[in-house]
Structure 1
Amino acid sequence: MLKKKASVPASQIDTLIGAQVVIRGDFHFSGGLYVEGRVIGKLIADDGEKAVLTLADNGVVEGEVRAPVMVINGTVNGNVYATERIELGSKARVDGNVHYKVVQMAAGSVLTGRLLHVDSEHASAGVEEMAEAEGMPRLATVNG
């Protein structure tokens, strides 16, 4: 029998980027990351590590985001890669393509870009193979 790998509980916070914090540059993390501030650069979970990103209502990321599990309530200006699942809350604003294995969108969330399903094989490889999809034009705005 195969055992399922336990993920980081959504409520576990190992790192907090406070509301008054602005980070410029790429930020690598593992475990639970809660962002209330602003990240200008890539936000990337370490490969093979358990990681959950929670972006608060006023949190902003200006750059690419890569993590197994994400709960987005704030604003992302860049492409998003969720290798396990992503939840877009009612105040979520994403301007970029969302690569996902499982997605949940609340009424009121806004996506300006494409929803691109990633199968298990691509998800476990870090969705690097999806690069050709980045050149596709943005087609839809989903307004909850």
Structure 2
Amino acid sequence: MFKNKSTQRDGFAIDTLIGADVVIRGDLEFSGGLYVEGRIVGKVTAAEGKPASLLLAEQGVIEGEVHAPVVIINGTLSGDVHAGERVELAQKARVEGNVHYTVVEMSAGAQLTGRLVHAQAQARALPAPEAAPPVTLTVVAAEA
């Protein structure tokens, strides 16, 4: 009756789907592939020591902090992102918060209001200038 296997969506293995009409209020811990088309109001965290990836679809919304090895955003996220391996900001991504990354990829059209913080720079514990305001960054396609 129920399948034990992951399905594929946008080229990623998906174990858990939060549908477009679903609203979750509260913190969420996951492992495997999490695909969000709905809305989450709370902290989203990957389980320690397990492979995990979060894919926020174009119509998806997360209002809260995100901690996961792989984070792919094409929707709206209000909160800080902590990606242990890589973060991808797709064309329709709208992020309001700081993005902590090891590897980052941004597509033309992605918008970020906040700071990009590289993991190595954070590990060195360099003091951040307190007076520096967040930056709004919009990626546009380069002309040939």
TM-score with structure 2 setting the length:
0.82
SS in 2 for 1:91: coil
Structure with greater proportional helix content? 1
The answer to whether the Cα contact below 8 Å between 1:63 and 1:76 also exists between their aligned partners in 2 is yes
- CA apart distance, 1:136: 7.0
TM-score with structure 1 setting the length:
0.82
Residues 8-66 of structure 1 show CA distances to partners (whole Å, capped at 9, x for unaligned) of x9610000000000000000000000000000000100111100100000100000001
What's the % identity of the aligned pairs?
57
Residues 111-142 of structure 1 show CA distances to partners (whole Å, capped at 9, x for unaligned) of 000000003995xxxxxx97x86x77543111
For the pair shown, the structure with the greater C-alpha radius of gyration is 2
Q: Does 1:66 align with 2:61?
A: no
Runs of 4+ in 1 over 2 A off after TM superposition: 119-122, 135-139
Q: Which amino acid aligns with 1:19?
A: A
The number of residues matched between the two structures is: 128
Give me the whole-angstrom Cα distance separating, in 2, the residues matched to 1:42 and 1:121. 21
The aligned residue for residue 93 of structure 2 is: 92
Give me the whole-angstrom Cα distance separating, in 1, the residues matched to 2:17 and 2:110. 23
Structure 1 unmatched runs, 5+: 1-8, 123-128
The aligned residue for residue 104 of structure 2 is: 103
Q: Which amino acid aligns with 1:115?
A: L
